[in-house]
Amino acid sequence: MVLDFTAIDFETANSSPASACSVGLVKVRGGVVVDTVGWFIRPPAGFDTFAPFNSTIHGIYESDVADAPLWSEQFSELLSFIGDDVLAAHNARFDLGVISAASVASLLAVPTLSYLCSLAIARKTYSLDSYRLPDAALAAGFEDFEHHNAIDDAAACAAIVMHAANRHGAASVQELAELCGVGLKSIGIKSTGTMTIGAAAERARPSARASLR
């Protein structure tokens, strides 16, 4: 196996994980970044209010996403880019919770996806006072990026995973997860009726994201 994965990051319009307003994705093949994409998302109806707190953090406002695709409209493009890759995200429970909650809110089945948390990997790799994304990325030699820009954050996450894999001598994300004792996790619901938005929100725990991103 080789070090292949896709790093992902979401920004949200408000405290609901269903309110995805931006996504960044970075594809890694053989330990090398080969593709980077990102776009604005118009949050699902009922979850599309932009909280001043969130907009202050990421700089995205309702006017920025007025002509952006809805979650349901960009969903196939998102999944097409991910393909069969394991996802990597920093505090991955949040970002995968966004996928779950936004899908449920859009009456879409939650896709089956495996993922690795770069926050958990960083804690097993570095000795830091803080494992927030900027601090962990700096330890990985990745700096001077725009934190809370989804594309930049996904790139920082990818850098952490690649650097950690090199330090641990891991040839794949599966081996990295095993060596760090964190394991790969997954989401995937066969029908939207099996998970409520509230349950998806609990999975995401948005309050935890603020202290760890």
**Which of residues 192 and 147 earns the better pLDDT score?**
147
Class of domain 5-212: alpha beta
Give yes or no for residue 205 having a pLDDT over 60: no
**7-11, 68-72, 187-191, range with the lowest pLDDT:** 187-191
pLDDT score recorded for residue 189: 56
pLDDT score recorded for residue 212: 59
pLDDT score recorded for residue 54: 98
Contacts of residues 178-186 at CB distance under 8 Å and 24 or more positions apart, as own/partner, are: 180/120, 180/121, 180/124, 180/125, 181/124, 182/116, 182/117, 182/120, 182/121, 182/124, 184/86, 184/114, 184/115, 184/116, 185/92, 185/96, 185/114, 185/115, 185/116, 185/117, 186/112, 186/113, 186/114, 186/115
**What DSSP letter does each residue of 61-124 carry, written as one string?**
-GGGGTTSPBHHHHHHHHHHHHTTPPEEETTHHHHHHHHHHHHHHTT-PPPPEEEEEHHHHHHH
Separation in Å, CA 45 to CA 9, 15, 79, 105, 175: 21, 15, 21, 8, 40
Given the structure tokens 């960009």, which residue do they identify? 74
CA distance 98 to 163: 26
pLDDT tens-place string over residues 134-181: 999 999 999 989 999 999 999 999 999 999 999 999 999 999 999 999
Mean pLDDT of the chain: 92
CA distance 49 to 88: 28
Sheet holding 5-12, edge to edge: 32-40, 20-29, 5-12, 87-89, 113-117, 185-187
Structure tokens at 171: 């040839």
pLDDT score recorded for residue 202: 52
**What DSSP letter does each residue of 1-31 carry, written as one string?**
----EEEEEEEESSSSTT-EEEEEEEEEETT
pLDDT score recorded for residue 191: 36
Structure tokens at 3: 């070090």
CA distance 33 to 30: 8
Q: What is the largest CA-CA distance in the chain?
A: 46
pLDDT tens-place string over residues 91-141: 999 999 999 999 999 999 999 999 999 999 999 999 999 999 999 999 999
Q: Which of 18, 209, 173, 28 is nearest to 110 (CA)?
A: 18
φ, ψ (nearest 5 deg) of residue 128: -130, 155
